[in-house]
């Protein structure tokens, strides 16, 4: 047996152990400080970029409005809602999302002449993304210049200056103080929409991060809807009301009492937590918009889609569906590269907002075409074709589902000039998914949907169509397929490089997480030759849709 070490050796061993522990503690403390003070990095993962958002680090708590109207009551800012400055969200990679005030159209802002002017004086060109579907606010992005990144915290929102109409120089714009930017890192309330009574009434509030897991939604009883103003003393609550429903990105809230025509801000608060950072505004509907629309005034069939950079596909999709029975199209441009508004949220809004103008609505993508083999022998298209699909169901059917046939590249190595319906003619044998045509009156108040179908009220059921299907031109020529999956707008799989939901059917068989063309791609997913729709569209519209009656096309509503 070894003799025990002398006392001096034992003390040295204990001292070394304590020093090691102190060193590890110091490392841990340094790591925590670095995490707490971290800034956006190009190393942020796609999942983080697409699915997470949140607040500035210092945030004034919302305070209740004083009821006595005393002299200590907070005074409103320069306008009643604090919307005198644009809202801004700092994204990863130093990109800034700028949302203009709802009334900023009067300022003549256009995509071609806008510049972001930062508080330090640096400028950056602004790229227009389009409008938020619900509030109509214009959205822009610009890159924060390097000099601004090195400036003292907090990072403040840039001003958007328009060359042709700006009343002052960029230097003057830079000198005026703007609000702190919201950091993209967790949660955000990003939009709201007031609904007419025919849409179920109340207000839809859209938020990311409150229900972050697919199929798991917080109880609405745990969520409050907070309407507030920004004032000189901070943020002042006008009303705090319990949410009626909570599902995915969508929360149905009561309207604030006696709001009049005033614009407010709106956010959500989960029980026991601080209010969620918000860039959303609320404006009550004008009295005329509250009047109901009779059933006779409704279009029978509408179509809704959410797009991004798909102009080359849209014309073919609209021409075809207008010919077979769609009366009105609702096309939402998801120009935002940060996936702010997911497809599910956009469809929820459409189902609620257009219930008074559309009886049925088809929720399909621009690479999906509703078709029936029974139409193959018809010499020309007729609007009765699609109408027969919905007329065939019983009154208690609220949703008609259509099986999807997924087409492959069919030997194509680039986008076919004649269009997708005539260029892709080979598909997989099995049906993997379905899409739906929905009776909008039957949709559940929660507006829950999975893109493919909606949750219905208890008195309605769904039925699978025995006649119609969807031709889904999913696996196109490689360059198109790659671009499509980089701009996907699903809530839970933001793009194909996200290492999540690996077994999802949204994933492509045999494809990993990298944008690398698999060997033999142009001939993959080809199990059944199916040229029915190619032959039909050639007969109806000519090769490459060159025989279209453009005057007739212009009569359709968007």
pLDDT tens by residue, 163-208:
655 445 555 555 567 888 888 767 889 889 898 876 667 999 999 8
Least confident residue range of 87-91, 412-416, 486-490: 486-490
Look up residue 286 and give its DSSP letter: P
Q: How many CB atoms lie within 10 A of CB 417?
A: 10
pLDDT for position 301: 97
pLDDT for position 342: 63
Listed residue (345, 305, 354, 41) closest to 188, CA to CA: 345
pLDDT exceeds 80 at position 217: yes
Pairing status of strand 182-183 against strand 87-90: parallel
**Three-class HEC string of 426-466:** EECCCCCCEEEEEEHHHECCCCCECCCCECECCCCEEEECC
Q: Given pLDDT bands bounded at 50, 70 and 90, which one contains residue 262?
A: confident
Three-class DSSP category at 329: strand
pLDDT exceeds 60 at position 556: no
Q: Per the structure block, which two tokens stand in for 425?
A: 């003619």
Three-class DSSP category at 143: strand
φ, ψ dihedrals at 264, nearest 5°: -125, 170
Task: Determine which helix (DSSP H) or strand (DSSP E) holds 158, and give its type and residue range.
Answer: none
pLDDT exceeds 90 at position 400: yes
pLDDT tens by residue, 3-42:
554 545 555 554 455 444 444 444 444 433 333 333 443 3
Least confident residue range of 179-188, 265-274, 343-352, 499-508: 499-508
Look up residue 517 and give its DSSP letter: P
pLDDT tens by residue, 65-116:
433 333 344 443 444 333 456 789 998 889 999 988 766 654 454 556 789 9
pLDDT exceeds 80 at position 289: no
pTM over 0.85: no
The arithmetic mean of pLDDT across residues 411-427, rounded, is 96
Three-class DSSP category at 320: helix
Listed residue (145, 59, 130) closest to 98, CA to CA: 130
């Amino acid at each position: 047996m070894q003799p025990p070490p002398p006392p001096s050796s034992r003390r040295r061993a204990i001292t070394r152990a304590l020093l090691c522990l102190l060193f590890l503690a110091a490392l841990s403390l340094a790591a925590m400080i670095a995490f707490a003070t971290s800034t956006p990095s190009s190393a942020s993962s796609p999942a983080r970029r697409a699915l997470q958002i949140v607040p500035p680090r210092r945030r004034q708590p919302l305070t209740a409005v004083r009821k006595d109207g005393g002299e200590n009551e907070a005074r409103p800012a320069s306008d009643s809602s604090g919307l005198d400055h644009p809202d801004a969200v700092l994204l990863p990679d130093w990109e800034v999302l700028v949302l203009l005030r709802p009334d900023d159209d009067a300022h003549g802002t256009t995509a071609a002449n806008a510049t972001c002017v930062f508080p330090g004086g640096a400028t950056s060109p602004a790229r227009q993304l389009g409008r938020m579907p619900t509030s109509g606010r214009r959205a822009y992005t610009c890159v924060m210049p390097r000099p601004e990144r090195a400036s003292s915290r907090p990072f403040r929102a840039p001003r958007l200056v328009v060359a042709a109409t700006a009343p002052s120089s960029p230097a003057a714009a830079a000198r005026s103080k703007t609000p702190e930017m919201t950091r993209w890192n967790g949660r955000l309330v990003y939009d709201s929409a007031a609904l007419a009574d025919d849409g179920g009434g109340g207000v839809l509030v859209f938020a990311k991060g409150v229900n972050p897991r697919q199929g798991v939604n917080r109880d609405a009883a745990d969520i409050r809807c907070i309407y507030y103003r920004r004032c000189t003393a901070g943020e002042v609550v006008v009303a705090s009301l319990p949410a009626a429903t909570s599902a995915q990105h969508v929360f149905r809230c009561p309207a604030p009492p006696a709001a009049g025509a005033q614009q407010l801000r709106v956010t959500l608060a989960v029980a026991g937590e601080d209010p969620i950072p918000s860039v959303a505004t609320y404006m009550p509907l004008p009295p005329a918009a509250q009047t109901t629309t009779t059933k006779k005034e409704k279009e029978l069939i509408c179509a809704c889609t959410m797009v991004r950079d798909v102009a080359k596909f849209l014309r073919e999709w609209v021409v075809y569906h207008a010919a077979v029975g769609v009366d009105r199209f609702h096309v939402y441009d998801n120009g935002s590269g940060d996936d702010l508004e997911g497809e599910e949220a956009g469809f929820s809004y459409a189902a609620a907002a257009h219930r008074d103008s559309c009886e049925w609505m088809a929720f399909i993508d621009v690479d999906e075409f509703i078709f029936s083999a029974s139409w193959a022998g018809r010499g020309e298209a007729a609007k009765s074709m699609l109408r027969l699909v919905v007329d065939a169901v019983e009154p208690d059917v609220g949703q008609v589902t259509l099986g999807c046939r997924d087409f492959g590249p069919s030997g194509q190595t680039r986008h076919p000039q004649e269009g997708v319906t005539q260029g892709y003619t080979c598909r997989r044998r099995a049906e993997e998914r379905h899409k739906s045509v929905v009776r909008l009156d039957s949709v559940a108040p929660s507006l829950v949907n999975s893109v493919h179908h909606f949750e219905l009220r208890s008195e309605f059921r769904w039925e699978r169509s025995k006649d119609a299907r969807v031709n889904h031109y999913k696996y196109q020529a490689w360059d198109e397929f790659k671009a499509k999956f980089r701009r996907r707008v699903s809530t839970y799989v933001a793009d194909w490089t996200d290492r999540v939901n690996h077994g999802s059917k949204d994933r492509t068989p045999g494809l990993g997480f990298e944008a690398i063309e698999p060997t033999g791609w142009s001939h993959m997913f080809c199990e059944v030759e199916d040229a029915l729709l190619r032959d039909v569209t050639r007969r109806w519209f000519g090769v490459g849709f060159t025989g279209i009656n453009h005057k007739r096309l212009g009569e359709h509503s968007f």
